[in-house]
């Protein structure tokens, strides 16, 4: 079945970077875009950006421009999202989600990133 499995929880210090992985299985990796979404504790969903696993092209939300980098490894069907210059407001659960044009399905299980000194 189609599945996205994310890496485990991370704790990072302010100013540092964190890299979250998302391993895809059950479908042709290069056929579907992958989105990254985050959710701060008790808050709603926030779209961060999209990557085309085929060519690696990306589009980022303006809010994260300059701080986020989305990459992929086609040999292992794995996507990565790296966020730098972390601050306390970046504490959130980060999700990857497969995106046909009209919807996000399925989602990864989420990765909690805690930014704390």
Partner 1 sequence: IQLTQSPSFLSASVGDRVTITCRASQGISNYLAWYQQKPGRAPDLLIYAAYTLQSGVPSRFSGSGSGTEFTLTISSLQPEDFATYYCQQLNTYPLTFGGGTKVEIK
Residues at the site binding partner 1, with contacts judged by CB under 8 A? 35, 44-47, 50, 59, 61-63, 95, 97, 101-110
Nearer to partner 1, 46 or 82 (CB): 46
Nearest approach, Cβ of residue 44 and partner 1 (Å): 5
- Torsional class of 32: left (φ above 0), alpha (ψ -120 to 50), beta (otherwise): beta
Nearest approach, Cβ of residue 15 and partner 1 (Å): 26
Nearer to partner 1, 14 or 100 (CB): 100
- Burial class from Cβ neighbours inside 10 Å (0-12, 13-18, 19+) for residue 20 reads buried
Nearest approach, Cβ of residue 107 and partner 1 (Å): 4
């Amino acid at each position: 079945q189609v599945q996205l499995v994310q890496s485990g929880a991370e704790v990072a210090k302010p100013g540092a970077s964190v890299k979250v992985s998302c391993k895809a299985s059950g479908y042709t990796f290069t056929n579907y875009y992958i989105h990254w979404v985050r959710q701060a504790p008790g808050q709603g969903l926030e779209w961060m950006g999209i990557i085309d696993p085929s060519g690696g092209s990306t589009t980022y939300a303006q809010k994260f421009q300059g701080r986020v980098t989305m990459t992929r490894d086609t040999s292992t069907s794995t996507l990565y999202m790296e966020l730098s210059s972390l601050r306390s407001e970046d504490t959130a659960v980060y999700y990857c989600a497969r995106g046909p044009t009209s919807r996000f399905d399925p989602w990864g299980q989420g990765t909690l990133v805690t930014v704390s000194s």
